[in-house]
Chains A and B, each alone.
Chain A
Amino acid sequence: MPEIKVDDSKCKGCYICIEACPKKCIEISKEFSKSGYYPVKYTGADCIACQQCSRICPDLAIDVYK
């Protein structure tokens, strides 16, 4: 099953990946990160590994697995 992993230490909470994901499977985490942002996380379902999120992430915080 495809999935994404978000590096909390790099994510700056800009949320443009949420906008880019066609499957709406990225959400805002409720946990505050060490760098002071609410990072994003995988909702846990529906990823199709299209890599649209990782293409647009300016901080290279998303790894996409298949």
Chain B
Amino acid sequence: MQLLNKRPESLVDMKMHYCPGCSHGIVHRLIAEVMDELDIRNRTIGIAPVGCSVFADKYFNCDMIQGPHGRGPAIATGLKRTTPGAIVFSYQGDGDLSSIGMAEIVHTAIRSENITVIFINNAIYGMTGGQMAPTTLIGQKATTCVYGRDPKLTGNPIKMCELLATIKGAKYLERTSVHTAPNVIKTKNAIKKAFKNQIDNVGFSMVEILSTCPTNWKIDPVKSLKYVNDNMIKVFPLGVYKDSKGGE
């Protein structure tokens, strides 16, 4: 009997702290598999954000830095410019990337820093207790909008891929999801491309991954997958928003 799905070497063999059904673990595995397949583990430096994935540095079996809230792309800029041989990725959630870190992500894309950003969009603040995020859907309940998000009060959900696609320096932008196994495979291909781009000096690459947060959504993990399918994808359509090699 042959084991078909060996645990990637780029992931430490330990139990992760995430809640049952949370998408972080799925994406961690994909990043680790890509590191293994591209054989870049020994020169990869990851940046863990503030948020539920603040402890990601314990799980990835490569060099890691834990950055201040939202500043991952700024740290990645410094790292990549001073250590061009390193493969640098910033792992960020929606509270981190699209709220407090909005300036960093936008300007890093404008400068087209040759880094890889993995953006976990689960439409809520997880670690701090389920507050409304810039990505929270209209009508979606959170602890700071108990009757559901009202656009008259807090505007509409921010669509990061669409927003960054207006920036010339953003070279590769794709939005994927991990709510079914085939979508997990598509997400892996996108992550691989975002890392390969960095190896080929293409410039700023980001993959936005629609993810679940069953704990703060207050629905079970199976219903959470359905929520992504029925509600999130309508607001955040999947697909490639930018794919320009070199020149343009």
Verify B221–A15 contact, CB threshold 8 A: yes
Task: Please determine whether A59 and B184 come into contact, CB atoms closer than 8 angstroms.
Answer: no
| Cross-chain contact B15 with A59 (CB below 8 angstroms) | yes
Report how many residues on chain B are interfacial, defined by Cβ distance under 8 Å: 29
Q: How far, in Å, is B67 (CB) from chain A's closest CB?
A: 23
Q: Which of B18-26, B98-106, B193-201, B230-238 contacts A (4 or more CB under 8 A)?
A: B18-26
A-chain residues with CB within 8 Å of residue B81 when the two chains form the complex: none
Nearest chain A CB to B91's CB is how many angstroms away? 15
Residue of B nearest to A19 (CB): B222
Q: Is B180 an interface residue (CB 8 A)?
A: yes
Give the docked Cα–Cα distance between A53 and B2 (Å).
17
Kindly identify which residue among B1, B16, B23, B181 contacts A55, using a CB–CB cutoff of 8 Å: B181
The interface residues of chain A lying within 8 Å CB-to-CB of B46 are: none
**A22, chain B: closest CB distance, angstroms:** 9
Among the interface residues A13, A49, A58, which one has the most CB atoms of the partner chain B within 10 A?
A58
Within 8 A of B (CB), among A43-66: 49, 51-60, 62-66
For chain A, residues 10 to 41, give those with C-beta under 8 angstroms from any C-beta of chain B. 10, 12-16, 18-20, 35, 37
Residues on the A chain within 8 Å of B48, using CB:
none
* Chain B contact residues, majority secondary structure: loop
State whether B4 touches A56 (Cβ < 8 A).
Answer: no
- Tell me if B163 counts as interface (CB < 8 A to partner A): no
Minimal beta-carbon separation of B225 from chain A (angstroms): 6
Q: How far is the CB of B240 from chain A (nearest CB, A)?
A: 21
Chain A, Cβ-Cβ closest to B184: A55
Does B138 sit at the interface, judged by CB under 8 A? no
Q: Which residues of B contact A15 (CB under 8 A)?
A: 21, 220-222
Given known contacts A16-B222, A60-B11, A55 and B185 CB-to-CB distance under 8 angstroms:
yes
The 0/1 profile, CB within 8 Å of A marked 1, for residues 19-46 of chain B is 1111111100100000000000000000
Binding site for B on A (CB under 8 A): 3, 9-10, 12-16, 18-20, 35, 37, 49, 51-60, 62-66
14 pairs of residues in contact across A and B, judged by CB atoms under 8 Å: A3-B1, A12-B21, A16-B21, A16-B222, A18-B222, A55-B26, A55-B184, A56-B181, A57-B26, A58-B21, A59-B25, A60-B7, A63-B3, A64-B5
